[in-house]
Amino acid sequence: MKNDGPMDHLDDWEESLAARYPAGDALQVPNASSERAAFRDYSENVRPGIREFYRLNHRHQTVDFVEAKKQQYLPLRTKRMGVWEAMEFLNTLVDDSDPDADFSQIEHLLQTAEAIRHDGHPRWFVLTGLVHDLGKILCLFGEPQWAVVGDTFPVGCAFSDKVVFPEFFAENPDTQTPEYQTPCGMYSEGCGLDDVQISWGHDEYMYHVAKDYLPPEALAMIRYHSCYAIHREGGYTHLLNERDRQLLKWVRAFNPYDLYSKGDERPDVRRLRPYYEELVAEYFPPVLDW
């Protein structure tokens, strides 16, 4: 199955993230003008397909859209399958336009998990690396690129300039709703991210698939790993509570593995599969609702 959209292939977004946040950058909240200038420089030099992808994302991710997608998917009645079966299902997402995309989706997932395992993190952390992107199967359910990947952000309140390409929010219909134009919008200060609507994509979807089975730290990694405006840029702090601040430490710990673990060495899927099937069975039932 070919993934159609403004980007040549789905992984272009993750490659753009690595360009925006080069390996070796300190994982800290940027506040210096030079760091903001570098962020703007990235925005000005990004490929046209990425720019168009963000324009569509920022135009269409509204409160109504997010609520509609939750009503559509969060009964979790689209498909029933186990974790490894879901990985094999995601493997059918093939991009015919990318001649260099010779790594399968399973191999990419294993690269992330193996990097975490190599560094001696807990088993649930390793498992999170394996499953965190499985929500991308939304593409196989017919969702467009901009509703599957991309930076995530709160909706229902004023959009932050800490979100990449904030100028594209001018096309978002929610900018015409006065209730959503204050910093807190339809929320209250310090309400906590559990009470905040986040733009729809693979993160939120996979969080709901996994939420009954993994510890809170793992679920935060899954749910917010694409929310760069919060965990890398320091935006929306007025919405956070103390629980969020503690959990975001784990999201930041996970971030380098998410961005930088996809190297040139191909993992041995056959050799690794028994270990990961045992790890999956430790936390998940044989069949999950998707």
Three-class HEC string of 205-227? HHHHHHCCCCCHHHHHHHHHCCC
What is the tens place of the pLDDT at every residue in 124-180?
999 999 999 999 999 999 999 999 999 999 999 999 999 999 999 999 999 999 999
Judged against a pLDDT cut of 80, whether residue 195 lies above it is answered with yes
State the number of CA atoms in the 13 A half-sphere of 192 facing the CB: 9
Q: In which residue are the tokens 């070919």 written? A: 2
- DSSP secondary structure code for residue 198 in this structure: B
Give the three-state DSSP class for 141. helix
83-90 vs 123-131: helix axis angle to the nearest 10?
A: 40
Report the predicted TM-score, pTM, of the whole model to 2 decimal places.
Answer: 0.87
Domain-wise residue ranges, the chain: 12-19+31-283
Q: Tell me the mean pLDDT in the region 170-199.
A: 98
Structure tokens at 36: 């903001």
Q: How many separate helices (H) and strands (E) can be counted in the chain?
A: 12, 2
Judged against a pLDDT cut of 80, whether residue 13 lies above it is answered with no
Helix (H) or strand (E) holding 288: strand 288-289
Write the DSSP assignment of 79-105 as a string of letters: -EE-HHHHHHHHTT---TT-TT--S-H
Q: Which pLDDT band, with edges at 50, 70 and 90, does 42 fall under?
A: low
Predicted local distance difference test score (pLDDT) of residue 79: 98
- Across-strand partners of 80? 289
Most confident residue range from 22-36, 93-107, 235-249: 235-249
- DSSP secondary structure code for residue 116 in this structure: H
Q: Which of 24-33, 40-49, 123-132, 206-215 has the least mean pLDDT?
A: 24-33
Query: CA-to-CA distance for 104 and 91, rounded, in angstroms?
Result: 6
Q: Tell me the mean pLDDT in the region 23-33.
A: 46
Q: In which residue are the tokens 């920022």 written? A: 58
